[in-house]
Amino acid sequence: MSRESIYNRYIPAVIPDPENDNCAYWFVFNQNKLLVTDNEIKIPCTKNIEEFDIFPIRTQYLGTLDGHPCYSAEVNFDTDELKKMDFRELRSLYGVLDEDVFLLAGKAFQIVNWDQTHQYCGRCGFQTEALQGENAKICPECGFISYTRISPAIITAVLKDDKILLARGSNFPENWYSIIAGFVEPGETLEECVKREVAEEVGLKVKNIRYFGSQPWPFPHSLMIGFISEYESGEICVDNYEITDAKWFSIDNLPELPSKMSISREIIDWYIKSMKSKQL
């Protein structure tokens, strides 16, 4: 992927530095909505979030961005919207927030969701405690440790001659197509997952699978691992469950595509650029 690493500006940590006296960025969530200032659409920055009449249920330290401490926080769903501030759905803030801030908001969203669903031990039901020095919960009763949840998923372009396979998911808007994606199953490699998902969803075999890039995807806790693959054999046969239609497209007849916030669009844009360079 072409973007620079967020780690040029962001230093992850789980224990605050008591000597850092800078104002803190607060990623405050009400369900799937993030609190931003109304005037410039920015993340609240303050040494004390309660001065904005925000009283979080729980908070988590994330590290520093440009030297400023960062916290994620969860508030009650009935929290009123605040003066000069507004809760916005996280997806709607792509392209509005600075890219690194948006990526950090995605991390904050995942940690808030994980923290919310791991208040009790999944083995014995006892209330968990934060594990010192890690993003993890430990059960003081049985010792079971739960780490932040990440669900790896592949997403792949399938190329045949000068065309790309695009598919329409069952929950997509009309005429909206993307590339094949799916979650990795236990016991399989990423490349095996690419082959299985393509075979299951559109009935094709692929070969020459190569890595493209990856993207954290906080809806709700995925890591998208992108690939380019080539058609080997078979005829398109959609499963009519996850996929309702799939076709080979050239750059001259592309349908409506995913937003630029997704690695799927980045892969498709790479294909378009590659085909245009061949035409020169």
Tally of helices (H runs) and strands (E runs) in the chain: 3, 16
CATH of domain 6-117: 3.90.79
Q: Which two tokens stand for residue 193?
A: 């997952």
Report the chain's mean pLDDT, rounded to a whole number. 94
pLDDT of the residue at 85: 86
pLDDT for 110-142, tens place per residue? 999 999 999 999 999 999 999 999 999 999 999
pTM, rounded to two decimals? 0.90
Nearest by Cα to 159 from 212, 208, 211, 225: 208
272 SS3 class:
helix
| Residues 62-91, mean pLDDT to the nearest whole number | 88
The pLDDT score that the predictor gives to residue 30 is 93
pLDDT of 83 reads 67
| Structure confidence at residue 39 as a pLDDT band (50, 70, 90) | confident
The pLDDT value given to residue 82: 67
pLDDT in tens, 215-246: 999 987 899 999 999 999 999 999 999 999 99
Range from 83-92, 155-164, 199-208 carrying the lowest mean pLDDT: 83-92
Tokens (6 digits) for 261 = 């916030």
Q: Which pair of structure tokens corresponds to residue 218?
A: 């906080």
Sorted by where each begins, the domain ranges of the chain are: 6-117, 151-279
Helix%, strand%, coil% for the chain, nearest 5: 20, 35, 40
The dihedral through the CA atoms of 166, 172, 173, 174 has a sign that is positive
Superfamily of domain 151-279: Nucleoside Triphosphate Pyrophosphohydrolase (3.90.79.10)
Task: Name the pLDDT band for 81 (thresholds 50, 70, 90).
Answer: low
Strands (E), 112-187: 129-130, 136-138, 145-147, 151-160, 163-169, 180-183
pLDDT level of residue 173 (50, 70, 90 thresholds): confident
